[in-house]
A and B are shown apart, each in its own frame.
Chain A
Amino acid sequence: MKKIALLISILALLLLIIACSGRVTPPIPDRVDIETDENGLLIGVYEIFLGANSREEIYKEANEKNELVVKWVLKTVYNDDGDPTEERFTHEGLLSSIKRFSFENEASSRENGKKIKIEYFSESGELRHIEERQYDISERLIRTDHSDNVYGETLNGWHVEYYYEKDQANPYEERIFSDSSYVNPYTNDGTLEVYTYTYREDGLLTEKRIATDGAHFGKIILYEYDMQNHLIQETYLIEAETEWIKTYLYDGDILLSIELRDAGGNLIKKRTID
């Protein structure tokens, strides 16, 4: 009888140890990216956790003692259709923003020109900002409206218009307009910023031009692809001068690393996908 009691006790103890160890064992990330500086020294680590309906990215920055400290966490929750329903961004331990997505008629689709509403909440749960995305019948984003919600009052902020060539899936131009009294001296309307996009025949983006004053395209990003249509290089130009080049390295279809180099080819930093 004593032996049975002893065995049961040992078994219970073992179960307790397993249960406890299960609690303290941190989950294993689905992907770990390591960021290093120009000398190969650790800058930080990205841990990506992929759940059934969620994606969580945690960035841990290396401090002066080379200890990894959580800098920020970006968590996105998706519905069964794969559309995001909530996004939370936490920065240095403080909740920076909460976005909640809702779909008209509770349908999580972008069909029939329906709208997606994204509400931004403060840390204490107050609705502070509203973003409404409007799609056309081809499920293309055609307009985004932004307004601040302050104490129940809605203040118009700005809106973005997207322009398409015939049945092209992606926009060739994106214009941001102020909805306040601002008049841009260059454009004589409320234009704040303009982006233009150029695509290959197969639809891959090759160039993005940015006019931060709404008129002058002083910033350009060029995109290059390999034979398998993997993005292999991004070149960022300011006033036609190369600012940096990002190089993407693959093993088959698997991305191995991204290197950021200055115009002289000097490594600025590198992200290695583990």
Chain B
Amino acid sequence: MKKLFLCSAFFVVCLSVFAYYDRFSILILNPAPNEAPYLINTGGITAFNPFAIREVRYAINNLLSRQYLRENITGLDTIFPLYLPIGYSEAFFGEGTVLDDIGFTVEGDEERAISEITQALTEAASLPQLVGRLVKQGDGYWYFDGEKVNIKNHIRNDFEYRYQTGTYISAQLEKSGFAVTDNYCDSSTVVRSTDPALLEWSAYTEWWCSPMPFVTYEARLNIIMQMYAPCFGNMPGFNIEGYWQYRNELIDKKVNDYLHKRYFSEAEMRSLYLYIIKIGINEAVRIPLFAFISSN
């Protein structure tokens, strides 16, 4: 946490005009079907989706080095490591507790992440439906029904920095034992307009713009809700009828309690707010990577 702080601090110092960053780079993962045995029928073919395993998604936080992204992404003025899809003032809003609890660092921890991914997949491989079908072979790759477990990473190539981010993510996922297919695109159409159950996409790096600082709990929660809560309609499936939908009743309930002010005290409100953040980070359907200031 201290390293994150110092790293953030260095880059914040570089800023002279802006007080808040206004663009966010956030990785979104396709979690369908989001339950064991993590199999999904895609047009008559049964596929295994490793991102349906929460622990695999969560480990990606450590698989990716935000420090690497900061040092190697070109074409951006200033980059800040990001763990929450909101801006500064985490001391005022008390979000530090969640970040401290997580213990992520800007460098990440590739070894630990790969170990956690391996452990999660090994446990999955012992499920009756997956025994003998999901195996890690000598070449370091995971196989399902004799085929390499494939990740479709949709990479925007209309901007150099988006391309660089996407290819870095692919390289890291490949190290984890997945065969990664880079699908280049210039929009989020596939992510937002195809049924997640078809597994047309596995990962995509979003870019969000936030033209104003979030200076109240409610304003911040609106962003948190947008990024983590299915009730907002911005999670995989995007509330499109007939599509598989990412569901999380707990976070929806807590978000609704918060938004409708169903609490008796400010302390209760603060607790609710922190709890929602914690659920969102733990679910890891979206993984914030970095923020940057942009004038275009």
Residues of A participating in the B interface, judged by any CB pair closer than 8 Å? 35, 57, 59, 71-72, 74, 89-92, 94-97, 120-124, 126, 128-129, 131, 146, 148, 150-151, 153, 155-158, 176, 178-182, 184, 192-193, 212, 236, 238, 243-244, 246, 258, 260, 268-269, 271
Query: B249 contacts the other chain (Cβ, under 8 Å)?
Result: no
Nearest residue, chain B, Cβ from A151: B9
Q: Give min CB distance, A227 to chain B, whole Å.
A: 24
B54-62, B110-118, B174-182, B265-273 - the one binding chain A: B265-273
Ranked 5 nearest A-B pairs via Cβ: A151-B9, A128-B91, A96-B94, A96-B97, A180-B19
Q: Give min CB distance, B1 to chain A, whole Å.
A: 8
Interface residues on B, range: 35 or more
B36-44, B160-168, B183-191, B210-218 - the one binding chain A: B210-218
B12 near A153 (CB under 8 angstroms)?
Answer: yes
Q: Give min CB distance, A145 to chain B, whole Å.
A: 12
B23-31, B135-143, B256-264 - the one binding chain A: B256-264
A193 to B92, CA, bound (A): 17
Residues of A with C-beta under 8 A to B232: none
B211 near A182 (CB under 8 angstroms)?
Answer: yes
Residues of A with C-beta under 8 A to B17: 181
Q: A129-B89, A157-B88 are in contact. Are A74 and B267 (CB under 8 A)?
A: yes
Q: Which of B63-97 contact A (CB under 8 A)?
A: 88-92, 94-97
Nearest residue, chain A, Cβ from B93: A97
Q: Give min CB distance, A271 to chain B, whole Å.
A: 5
Query: B6 contacts the other chain (Cβ, under 8 Å)?
Result: yes
Query: B144 contacts the other chain (Cβ, under 8 Å)?
Result: no
A151 to B8, CA, bound (A): 9
Residues of B with C-beta under 8 A to A260: 262, 264
B267 near A72 (CB under 8 angstroms)?
Answer: yes
Q: A95-B97, A122-B91, A153-B12 are in contact. Are A244 and B261 (CB under 8 A)?
A: yes
